[in-house]
Amino acid sequence: MSRAVSTRRKAITTAAAWTIGLAIFFPILWTIITSFKTEAEAIASPPSLFNFHWTLENYFAVQERSNYFRHFWNSVVISLGSTLLGLAIAIPAAWSMAFVPTKRTKDVLMWMLSTKMLPPVGVLIPIYLMFRDTGLLDTRIGLVVVLTLINLPIIVWMLFTYFKEIPGEILEASRMDGATLRSEILYVLTPMAVPGIASTLLLNVILAWNEAFWTLNLTAAKAAPLTAFIASYSSPEGLFYAKLSAASTMAIAPILILGWFSQKQLVRGLTFGAVK
Residues from 96 through 135 that contact another protein (CB under 8 A):
96-97, 99-100, 102, 106, 108-110, 112-130
Torsion angle (degrees, nearest 10) of CA 134, 138, 142, 144: 180
**Footprint of another protein on 29-88 (CB under 8 A):** 30-31, 34, 43, 45-47
Nearest to 59 by CA among 254, 250, 252, 230: 250
Pick the binder of another protein from 68, 131, 162, 241 (CB under 8 A). Answer: 241
> Residue 107 burial (CB < 10 Å; 0-12/13-18/19+)?
exposed
Residue whose CB is less far from another protein, 140 or 268: 268
Task: Tell whether residue 213 is a contact of another protein (CB under 8 A).
Answer: yes
Torsion, Cα 205 230 149 92, to 10 degrees, reads 10
Least distance to another protein, CB of residue 258, Å:
8
The span of 28-36, 53-61, 62-70, 185-193 binding another protein (CB under 8 A) equals 28-36
Report the candidate in 116, 90, 117, 95 with the shortest Cα–Cα distance to residue 201: 90
Whether residue 159 contacts residue 197, with contact meaning beta carbons closer than 8 Å, is answered with yes
Contact yes or no for 251/230 (Cβ under 8 A): yes
* Interactions with another protein, residue window 221-240 (CB under 8 A): 226-228, 230-231, 233-234, 238-239
Site for another protein contains 179 (CB under 8 A): no
Taking the least distance from each CB to another protein, the nearer of 152 and 188 is 152
Show the binding pattern over residues 149-168: x = contacts another protein (CB under 8 A), - = does not: x--xx--x------------
What's the min distance (Å) between Cβ of 20 and another protein?
A: 7
Beta strand ranges found along 149-269 (DSSP E): none
Q: Does 3 bind another protein (CB under 8 A)?
A: yes
